[in-house]
Structure 1
């Protein structure tokens, strides 16, 4: 499988997980959280696959996103573009990196919608991780198309 096909496959699988209904039994919230974190983990794999894809002309030894998107990452135009995007607070990539850091933390990335907050009146409605991730994936796919185009020029 080519890196491009693998990136597409992982993005598709993440979207499939997000579209899977959680149900309405006593395990529904845990199932939703598992699907959200699973989709986020697949998105991390897709990010790594994308980095492999857009840097294959450079024949890099490693493709870890933390390394390539960090300040010491390779000086490749596509990576520079992604680093700039990651530095923009409202961007899909900045959001994704923050969620990936949370995913690897001890608290995880998914949030409970009930439990300790029962009985409290909700003042605002934070979007569920799944909704935010879906938005992120849509924006990422648009960016991926542009990155692929510049990468193919090499």
Structure 2
């Protein structure tokens, strides 16, 4: 399988995980959290596959996203574009990098939803993590198209 196909496959699989219904039994919350963290792990693999894909022309030896997106990473135009995105916390890649780093921490990224205490008003302004991941994947797909066009010119 070539890097482009692998990137597509991993993003598709992440979306499938996010679409899994958690159910309503006592394991529903754990199942949702597992699907969210599993999808994020697949997205991390997709990020590395994307970096491999868009830097094929540079013949890099390593494709670890931490190295390639670091300020001192390889001087490749596609990587510079992604570095700039990653440096902006409000961008899809800035958000994603933060969540991937948290995924590798002992507490992880998925959170239990707290059941509201009777008499309290719940404020639901924050998007669910799964919804944020879906949005991130959609924005990533748009960026990937542009990166592929630039990379194909080489």
Once the two structures are superposed, what CA deviation does each residue of 1:37-80 show, in whole Å capped at 9, x if it has no partner?
00000000000000000001111010000000001110000000
1:114 deviates by 1.7
Once the two structures are superposed, what CA deviation does each residue of 1:114-137 show, in whole Å capped at 9, x if it has no partner?
26xx41532343111110000000
What's the TM-score once normalised by structure 2's chain length?
A: 0.96
- List runs of 5+ in structure 1 lacking aligned partners: none
The answer to whether the aligner puts 1:64 opposite 2:74 as a matched pair is: no
The answer to whether the aligner puts 1:143 opposite 2:143 as a matched pair is: yes
Alignment of 1:68-87 (within 5 A): 68-87=68-87
Aligned residue number for residue 3 of structure 2: 3
CA distance in 2, matches of 1:23, 1:90: 32
Secondary structure at the counterpart of residue 62 of structure 1: coil
RMSD: 1.0
Aligned residue number for residue 52 of structure 1: 52
CA distance in 2, matches of 1:17, 1:82: 25
Aligned residue number for residue 100 of structure 2: 100
Once the two structures are superposed, what CA deviation does each residue of 1:103-122 show, in whole Å capped at 9, x if it has no partner?
0011101011126xx41532
1:86 deviates by 0.8
